Amino acid sequence: MTTITNNSDALTSLGLAAPQKKRSGDMGQADFLRLMTEQLKNQDPLKPLEGSQFLGQLAQFSTVQGIENMQKSLGAVASVMESDQTLRAAALVGHDALVDASTVSLQAGAGMRGEIVAQGAGPMQVDIVDAGGQVVQRMTVNSTGAGNVPFAWDGRAANGNAAPAGRYTVRAAAGSGADAEALDVRVAARVDSVSIEATGLVLNLNGLGSHPLSAVRRIG
């Protein structure tokens, strides 16, 4: 049986170059080699460790080390991308964002605008409902086909007076009676600020509260 007295001898006996000096941040390869050397020194003389087994264990360690280094590199790339996304989102402050929402807090007499996701051509009924469930204004919006159809409310109730401050919900439907079909609504609001949360970037919208960046359908 070949006698191995140190790490260099162990690697030389297997046709490998001696390890370089450990650098700060290495994954403990020198420690791993020391353990392998001890394994060779204390092996059963009747069942010596084959060189292929040693190389297989070393290859496994190198694979794990490579994966961990790759994870660090990917983490650095993700950090750069997050910083870039944050800068881009900050540029949205002051602009109007159209989001998937139907309820908004308004000042007295303040209106709102947005769009209805039409399923086909024809008239659509748009109701502005207050926090108490009362319809304060009813409008009809016509669609020429499936797609996004804009709407706007001037902030006035059906009697012509300015609606009081409060929370208002937009409800849209196509058809009437039993055939009425509820439609998706999107509301536009100004971006007041951007927050960085654990779940990602969040836009703080005037009157709409906080919404994830993924909820934004259009800017401007």
User: DSSP letters along 80-105, please?
Assistant: HHHHHHHHHHHTTTTSEEEES--EEE
pLDDT confidence of residue 130: 94
Residues for the chain: how many in total?
A: 220
pLDDT at residue 108, as a whole number? 92
> 21-25, 47-51, 57-61, 184-188: which has the minimum mean pLDDT?
21-25
What's the whole-number mean pLDDT along residues 85-103? 83
Does the predicted model carry a pTM greater than 0.85? no
The predicted model gives 86-115 an average pLDDT of: 87
| pLDDT of 214 | 82
3-state SS assignment for residue 173 = strand
- In the structure encoding, which two tokens stand for residue 81, read together? 């991308």
pLDDT band at 64 (very low <50, low <70, confident <90, very high): low
| Residue located via tokens 């996304």 | 85
Six token digits for residue 126: 């748009």
Helix, strand, coil: what percent of the chain each, to 5? Answer: 30, 35, 35
For residue 111, give the 3-state DSSP assignment.
coil
